[in-house]
Structure 1
Amino acid sequence: MAPESWIQPPEMLRICHRDLWADNVLPTGQGGVCVIDWENSGPADPAQELGCVLFEFARTDPGRARALTRAYRDAGGPAQVNRRGHFSMLIAQLGHITEIAAADWLIPHVRSPERTDSAAWIGETLDAPHTRELLDNLVQGLRGRDTR
């Protein structure tokens, strides 16, 4: 079973950022965060967006994933990640990024004019893959069962 088989349609549509990767979350001088690059924002399931955030910022650290989720919920966040389908946005986005990067490697594009640019994009996914085991461990860790 490939992770793509886990993809589920969104259940609770809200306006979401839909691109909450580390390069779009910047620290402020006061110790907070500033989220930039809202051009892809639109309707999405907050649980699926939270799945992306947890993968990006806590993928192998269950304690950090729980702390991040707690802070999100304490700040009024409406979602929680408790099943595989909550990684649907992650699986779709990383698959899309890899597909675009591979196409740009074959035929250079303005967004990746050099093959090294495309290779770097692909490397982000292949160097730290979103495997079934990793995502299952993340869900289990959120339930308080550290599986490392």
Structure 2
Amino acid sequence: MKNLLKHKTVLRKSLILLFAASFCMACDEQTVYHTFQSLPAKGWQRKDTLFFNAMVPDSATLYNVSVEVRNRNNYPYQNLPLLIYYDSPEAQNIKRDTLELKLADSAGIWLGDGWGGLYQSTLSAGRIRIGKAGEYRFKITHLLPDEVLPGINDIGIKLKR
């Protein structure tokens, strides 16, 4: 009986420690904006542009921008070429960049983290200097010739100080 109580106490302490550690890791003050947009199950339309409206609180700060992609097993290619650009409160299309996100190796093995047919990959999209606090609009389109691109589940943007 004492042994059972001892194990329950150890288990309870372990769970509390695990909860506290995960709570501390979730509080990432460096991340200013992080969100995903889900795409239709049938696929990402070639003409569809994804818009991300990020409220940026600090001016004169250098931010790291990254693009995150969640793909399914039915994505037909190794790479995903993307066009990313953004608008500031004063001007449109300030910075434009083409990114090549490698999702699978030459043997067709998915490179991202995941399981159960869904994988997440992250690619740095560079650094931007925010001149004025306000709402910035990031835009992403895919550059493949497919009218409907299957297998992309979600696209995300992350801004970190």
TM interval, shorter chain, is under 0.3
- Select the structure of larger CA radius of gyration: 2
Q: Which has the higher contact order (CA 8 A, sep 6+)?
A: 2
Larger % of helix: which? 1
Larger % of strand: which? 2
What TM-score, normalized to structure 2? 0.22
What TM-score, normalized to structure 1? 0.23
